[in-house]
Amino acid sequence: METRDAISVAVVGGTGYVAGEVLRLLAGHPVFRLNAVVSHAHEGEPVVRAFPHLAGVLPDGLVFRALPEWTERDWRAGAARGVFLALPHGETSKVVAGLLDGRGPPDAHLVDLSADFRYPDAADFERIYGVEHAAKGHLADFTCLVPEQHDGGPVRHAVQPGCFATAVTLAAWPFARLGLTEGPVFASAVTGSSGSGRTPRETTHHPARRSDLVAYLPLAHRHEPEMCRLIAYPLGEGWEVEFVAHSGPFVRGIHATVRMTLREPVAAERLVERVNEWYGPRGPFVRASAGMPHLTGVVGTNRCDLGVATRGRTLVVTSALDNLVKGAAGGAVQWMNRAFGLPDDQGLRLGGPGWF
């Protein structure tokens, strides 16, 4: 079996749920080696204080480092060749502007987990997120797709789409790409409380939602424009998507129901075959069946399970994935694997907990 030299990577913005999942995945990765975890607000604190479940897994004595110190001592010296950016929206572009100023390693790769580089036009980002983009000149350097959508080889820098966008895109895209459906796409998705981040807010804090189910931002969610662009890839013509998000009474996972109109009736079993034929060469993580997927089957893994049902020209696809893994950290590691020419599933063949 071919062996690979270790590749040093860093996590910038290292205290949120997604950053914690990136660290968990890196701890078991056979090639990537953790160079640093950067968080200016927690400089000098042990990383396991933020993530006690990773004690004994992360390197002993690992502490958070400040961005300026890490940039000067490690990044400029080429001590990290890959960087996972797990910063808040609007902050990432400021950091990228500093990292890609010509003084970093020429063969480095960045993977962004925020929204800053999800749109090729900065005006779209600024309109949707309400903050100025600080690295407009680097937008063209980033590829923003779900990894399974990218047919090419290694990329320079990549962006993992939003978790809702990932769940809906993986359900709808193959049917649109194969010319089997016509618009619009109707999507409804329920997400766990971890999707709202680590800082509790009145409407998203888990105790407020643990026994409740509520729709929010119907037809106005900021992931909807992402879905329109991604489902249309690579044709460049935006598909109309009508999306309703729900806050669910669980912590991890997204369950999406996507309804489309077939151009002509096709049996569900045949569509399952077409989807699996489509995703088969694109890696091991997306599979369809005529049965409906369960969140318990995918939480903790980098998989997205699809269920297909039809009646006449009506097509319904249900999609289940872990919002923190396939919808974020796992997708980011998948992109970093791609960037360095590694197999998509390197370090990502994960079994789920089953009961939690």
Catalytic residue list: 163
- Tell which residue, 240, 242, 186, 184, has the closest CA to residue 217: 242
C-alpha 27/C-alpha 31 separation (Å) is 10
| DSSP secondary structure string for all residues of 239-261 | PPEEEEEEE-SSSS-EEEEEEEE
Q: What is the CB neighbour count within 10 angstroms for residue 355?
A: 5
Between vectors from CA 64 to CA 95 and to CA 117, what angle results, nearest 5°? 25
3-state secondary structure of 90: coil
Q: How many angstroms from the chain centroid is the CA of residue 338?
A: 14
Q: What's the distance, CA 116 to chain centroid?
A: 13
Q: What are the backbone angles phi and psi of residue 129, rounded to the nearest 5°?
A: -105, -10
8 A C-beta contact, residue 86 and residue 31: no
- For 318-332, give one letter per residue: b (16+ CB within 10 A) or e: bbbbbbbbbbbbbbb
How remote is the C-alpha of 280 from its chain's centroid? 20
Q: Which of 22, 2, 1, 24 is nearest to 12 (CA)?
A: 22
DSSP letter at 101 equals: S
Helix (H, G, I), strand (E, B) or coil at 142: strand
Q: Annotate 10-71 with DSSP letters as a single string.
A: EEESTTSHHHHHHHHHHHT-SSEEEEEEE-GGGTTSBHHHH-GGGTTTSPTT-BEE-HHHHI
